[in-house]
A and B are shown apart, each in its own frame.
Chain A
Amino acid sequence: MVNGVVDTWLIRGARLPDGQRSDLLLRDGVIAETGARIAAAGAQVLDADGLVALPGLVDLHTHLREPGREDAETIETGTQAAALGGYTAVHAMANTEPVADTAGVVEQVWRLGREAGHCDVQPVGAVTLGLAGVRLAELGTMADSAARVRVFSDDGRCVSDPLLMRRALEYVKAFDGVIAQHAQEPRLTESAQMNEGEVSGRLGLAGWPAVAEEAIIARDCLLAAHVGSALHVCHVSTAGSVEIIRSAKSKGWRVTAEVTPHHLLLTDDLVQGYDPVYKVNPPLRTAADVEALRQGLAEGTIDCVATDHAPHPAEAKDTEWVEAAFGMTGLEVALRAVQEAMVETGLLDWAGVADRMSVRPAGIGRLSGHGNLPGPGVPANLMLYDPAAPREPVDPAVHASKSRNTPFGGVALPGRVVATFLRGTLTVLDGKLA
C-alpha cells in the first residue's frame, strides 16, 4: 500500500500460468482487464517481462505462534514472511497458547491478521479442547464466528482416538468443514527423533517409523469413507502414504493431502551431523520417499504444497538433538524449493504450480477470493515470480520471520519472488516489503 491508497497497477507482459503472455490491469482490488497492450492512463506500470504471474499462493499449514510464543513469531512477522514468499493467504494452525479452540481465540487471530494486512490469515480451529484429544472443541461456534473456520486440526498432535476422529469428521459436515489430520500413531512414535531406518540405527536416535503415519492415514481414509466426510492429510512424508491416498482417491473418497517443500527436497541422511535444523515432524525420510512424494504431487494424488512453517527461537535449536524443537520455517523459500523439486525436474509446469500452491489449497480451505487463476473480474490476489533469477544461497539472516530455522540456509535455490499483490494492493515489490 502506497500512502494508504489502493493503487491502479498495470503489469506489462507477464507470463500467465497457461504460458500466454498478457498485460494485467489491477484496479479496485480486482483484475480489471487482461490482454495485450492494455492502455491505462494514470496506472503505475510494472514491467513483468520474463516473470510468471501466479495466483497469490495459499498456505494450508502455517504456525504463526501468536498468541503465546511471540518470541518465535508474531502474526505481523509471519505474514510479512508469507507475503515475501508470494502468499496472499495462510491458514494459522491452532497450537498456540492459548489453543485456538474457541471462537474468541480464532477471532483474535483473524483480526490481528487483518490489522497486519500483509496477507489474509484464516485461522484453523482445534479439533479437541486444548489439543488434548479427549473432547471436541466447539467446532460449530468457531465455524459461525467472524473467522468462519472451516479447517480443523490438532496439528502437532494426532487425533488418535478413532471414535473421536469419526465424530469430528461427521460433525463438521454440517458446515462443510474438513478435518486436517496430523497422522502420527502416538504409541509407535514414543520419544521418536527421526525417520526409522538405516540412519537412525547408526546414529542411535529413536526411530519414527513410516508405518506410524501410514496406519493413521489408512484408518482415517476408511473413517472418512464410512461417514462420507472430508479428510485432509497434513504433511504426507512417506511413499506408503502416497499409495494409500492414491487408493482412497481412486474409490472417490473425499480425501486430500499436502506435502511440505522440505519433504520434497531433503532426506534423513542430513541428520548425520546431529544439527537440529533438520529436526522436523514428520521427519525427513529417504530418497525413495522424496521421489514418491514428487510423483504424488505431480499426478495430483497429493493436492498441494503446504509449508508447515514452524518458527522456533535460536535456543530451541542450539542444543542437543533430542532436546531440540521439531520444525522448520518455510514461507519465504517455499516456491523456490518447489521450483527446484518440481519444475526444474520437469514434473510440474507453472500451471501445475499455480494449481498445487494456490487453486487447490484455497479449495481445500474453503477460502473465497483466493486461488483464482488471473483473469478479468477475479480478486487481484497474485504474485510475480522470476524463475530465471540467478541461484542465490538462502540467507536466513535477512528473513522477515522472527526465526532462522530454515534447513535451506546457504543452499542456492533458483527463482525469486518479485512482487505480491493482496486485493490489488502491493505487499511486496522487488523482493522487499512494499
Chain B
Amino acid sequence: MNRHLISAGDLSRDDALLILDTAEELARMADRPIKKLPTLRGRTVVNLFFEDSTRTRISFEAAAKRLSADVINFSAKGSSVAKGESLKDTALTLEAMGADAVVIRHFASGAPHRLAGWVKGSVVNAGDGTHEHPTQALLDAFTIRRRLGLRPAGGTSRAALDGVRVTIVGDVLHSRVARSNILLLNILGAETTLVAPPTLFPLAVDGWPCEVSYDLDAVLPKSDVIMMLRVQQERMTAAYFPSVREYSRRYGLDATRMALLPEHAIVMHPGPMNRGVEIAAEVADSARSTIVEQVANGVSVRMAVLYLLLGGAELPGKAW
C-alpha cells in the first residue's frame, strides 16, 4: 500500500482486495457488543473538510473512533480558512499538531495531491472537486461483493468482481464517484458501462476502460449492478440538458425501467439522492436498493483504509 489514498487508480488489485477483506473482518467486529478496537490508540486523524458533507465526515469520524484514534474535525467554515488562510498554511498547522492522517474533502480537484506535498502524515482523499472519491468506490465494491454473494459464506476470500457487469448512469463529467469507481472496477475485473447524455461525458471518454452508451433501456437487461449518480439541477443552466423532466425521462431509473433489470441485479446510489429525478422513490426504497447498506459499509471500508495506511496493530481474529 502507498502511504496515501488519493486515487483509486493508485491501488493494485492486491491492495484493493486487502482493503475489502480487512473491511469484512472489521465489519464482523461491528456486530460484537463492544465495537471499539484499540489498534489506532494514540494516533491522530484530522478530518479536513472544505466542503459540506456531513455524511462523509461522520463516516470517517466513526471509522477513526472505532479504531480508538483521536479525531480532530476541521471544517473550513468559521475557521481560519474562511479568513483567507491558504491550504498550505492549514497543512503546515496540521503538520505542527502531529496529524498521523489527514482526511481531506475539498472543492478543488487535486487538493489532496497538493496537501500530500506539505504534510508528512497519510492523506486520504474524501472527495476532491470533480476528480475522485476513492473510499466511495471501495465501499461500492464492498457492497457489490456482499450483495452479489461473491464471497463464500463463512469467511473472507480474495474474491474480486471479475465479470460483474456494472452500469453507471448520470453526470460522469462532473462525478468524482464515477471516476474512482471506473478505475477500481477495472482493477477488480468488472465490466463497466457508462450511460449519460453525450454532454455529460468527458470529451476523451473513449480512452477509458469502460463502455459508453446513450441508451439506458438497452443496457439495463445486461446489468448486474446499476449505479445512479446524483444530478445537479444547475447543470441545466449550462445547457448540459434541456430540463430536469427530460433528463429524468431519458436517464432516470423508475419502476418500469427497473423491471428491465435481471432478477438478481442491485441498485446503488452514493447519495444524497434526488428522489424523482435520477431515481424514483419506489426504486430507492425497493429490495434491490443497497443505499442504506452503502452507508453502513462506508464505515467498515474507511476503518480498513485508516487501519492499513496507519499500520495499526494486528487485528484480533485475523482470518487470512
Q: Which of A198, A275, A322 has a CB less than 8 Å from the CB of B129?
A: A322
Answer yes or no: B131 CB below 8 A from chain A CBs. yes
Binds B, one of A17-25, A163-171, A202-210, A378-386: A202-210
Check if B204 sits within 8 Å of A201, measured CB to CB: yes
Q: Digit string of B66-107 for contact with A (CB within 8 Å is 1, else 0)?
A: 000000000000000000001110000000000000000011
Asked whether A197 and B131 contact (CB < 8 A) given A273-B113, A274-B113, the answer is no
Answer yes or no: B156 CB below 8 A from chain A CBs. no
Check if A320 sits within 8 Å of B207, measured CB to CB: no
Asked whether A203 and B205 contact (CB < 8 A) given A315-B86, A319-B114, A320-B108, the answer is no
Check if B108 sits within 8 Å of A197, measured CB to CB: no
Q: Which residue of B lies closest to A274 (CB)?
A: B110
Answer yes or no: B111 CB below 8 A from chain A CBs. yes
Q: Which residue of A lies closest to B132 (CB)?
A: A204
Answer yes or no: A196 CB below 8 A from chain B CBs. yes
Check if A319 sits within 8 Å of B204, measured CB to CB: no
Check if A204 sits within 8 Å of B130, measured CB to CB: yes
Count of residues in A whose CB is under 8 Å from the partner chain: 22
Residues of B within 8 A of A196 (CB): 203
Residues of A within 8 A of B203 (CB): 196-197, 200-201, 207, 209
Instruction: Give Cα distance in the complex from A416 to B129, angstroms.
Output: 42
Instruction: Give Cα distance in the complex from A320 to B85, angstroms.
Output: 12
Residues of A within 8 A of B107 (CB): 322
Instruction: Give Cα distance in the complex from A318 to B207, angstroms.
Output: 32
Asked whether A205 and B110 contact (CB < 8 A) given A196-B203, A319-B88, the answer is yes
Q: Which residue of A lies closest to B178 (CB)?
A: A204
Q: Digit string of A268-281 for contact with B (CB within 8 Å is 1, else 0)?
A: 00000111000000
Q: Which residue of A lies closest to B179 (CB)?
A: A204
Instruction: Give Cα distance in the complex from A26 to B128, angstroms.
Output: 60
Interface residues of B (CB under 8 A from A): 86-88, 106-111, 113-114, 128-132, 173-174, 176, 179, 202-205, 207-208
8 extra interchain contacts, Cβ-Cβ under 8 A, other than A198-B207, A200-B203, A320-B87? A204-B131, A205-B110, A205-B131, A274-B114, A315-B86, A320-B108, A321-B109, A322-B107
14 A-B interface contacts by CB (under 8 A)? A196-B203, A197-B203, A200-B203, A201-B203, A201-B204, A203-B109, A204-B128, A204-B129, A205-B129, A274-B114, A275-B114, A319-B88, A320-B110, A322-B108
The 8 A-B pairs at the shortest CB distance, nearest first, are namely: A274-B110, A201-B202, A204-B131, A204-B130, A320-B108, A198-B204, A204-B109, A274-B113
